[in-house]
């Protein structure tokens, strides 16, 4: 049994980032053509496009502010005119900021997290789901975080955005499920990426000791979960919030 995405078009937002690059590579390795979204890191996006473009795989880059409706619509048109309407949309992009306590966090950071999490997912759904409805097949996959369950000190703005995103996506799952479209979330833990490998910071005993699997996950672990949810193997899974964190958080029933 293999994950086969041949004939599918995937769009990954934030694909020039650490986790996004591996998601794009993995979806391409499964046979999908890939639209690589970036906001400001064009050089990284160009390098990834060159890496993924082969005689059997089409890869393009698209620039957009995913919290801006006009940008998202332009991205939809650009992808549609070159690769075709995406079958798989992975909402991975998120804005970064300095974490502080709720009493000290600037209001602008809450607004930024609302825009890059909630509005990002709303605008992507409005732009790309109608074509999925026409095909009666689609995958919407959003990247959440274990922090949404932890609610630890200084996570307030981040958690508020991710929890708002969760409500939008669970509602969307109910609204479009009858059209053959699944809507799911992947929730990484503190994940090893190229940034850690370059800095030599992969080992974090203070974190890993509390993880049941006694290690940090890596970017490929996250990409594998995304690829599975994108495939027909997960065709009867929707509305899920899937923790990929070695059991560091465990949703209860």
Q: For 181-200, what is each residue's pLDDT tens digit?
A: 999 999 999 999 999 999 99
For the chain, the straight-line distance linking the first and the last C-alpha, in angstroms and rounded, comes to 30
Which of the four CATH numbers 3.40.50.720, 3.40.630.150, 3.40.50.300, 3.90.230.10 does domain 9-244 have? 3.40.50.720
Nearest partner of 41 among 82, 13, 68, 72, judged by Cα: 13
Catalytic residue from among 97, 110, 158, 207:
158
In whole angstroms, what separates CA 245 from the centre of its chain? Answer: 15
Chain position carrying tokens 């086969």: 4
Chain position carrying tokens 């200084």: 154
Gap between the Cα atoms of 41 and 13, Å rounded: 12
CA distances from 74 to 68, 71, 81, 122, 129 (A): 10, 5, 11, 16, 15
Q: Look up the pTM and report it.
A: 0.96
- Each residue's pLDDT tens digit, 57-102: 999 999 999 999 999 999 999 999 999 999 999 999 999 999 999 9
Whether 110 is a known active-site residue: answer: no
């Amino acid at each position: 049994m293999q994950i086969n995405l041949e004939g599918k078009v995937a769009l990954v937002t934030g694909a020039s980032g650490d986790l996004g690059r591996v998601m794009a590579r993995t979806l391409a390795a499964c046979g999908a053509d890939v639209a690589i979204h970036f906001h400001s890191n064009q050089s990284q996006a160009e390098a990834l496009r060159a890496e993924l473009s082969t005689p059997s795989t089409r890869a393009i880059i698209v620039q957009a502010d995913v919290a801006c409706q006009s940008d998202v619509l332009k991205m939809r048109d650009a992808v549609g005119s070159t690769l075709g309407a995406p079958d798989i949309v992975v909402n991975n992009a998120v804005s970064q900021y300095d974490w502080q306590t709720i009493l000290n966090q600037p209001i602008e950071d809450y607004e930024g997290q609302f825009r890059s999490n909630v509005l990002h997912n709303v605008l992507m759904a409005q732009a790309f789901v109608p074509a999925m409805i026409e095909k009666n097949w689609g995958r919407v996959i959003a990247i959440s975080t274990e922090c949404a369950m932890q609610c630890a000190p200084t996570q307030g703005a981040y958690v508020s955005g991710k929890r708002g995103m969760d409500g939008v996506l669970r509602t969307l799952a109910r609204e479009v499920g009858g059209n053959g479209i699944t809507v799911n979330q992947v929730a990484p833990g503190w994940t090893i990426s190229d940034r850690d490998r370059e800095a030599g910071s992969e080992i974090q005993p203070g974190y890993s000791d509390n993880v049941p699997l006694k290690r940090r996950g890596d970017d490929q672990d996250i990409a594998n979960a995304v690829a599975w949810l994108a495939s027909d193997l997960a065709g009867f899974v929707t509305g899920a919030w899937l923790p990929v964190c070695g059991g560091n958080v465990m949703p209860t029933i």
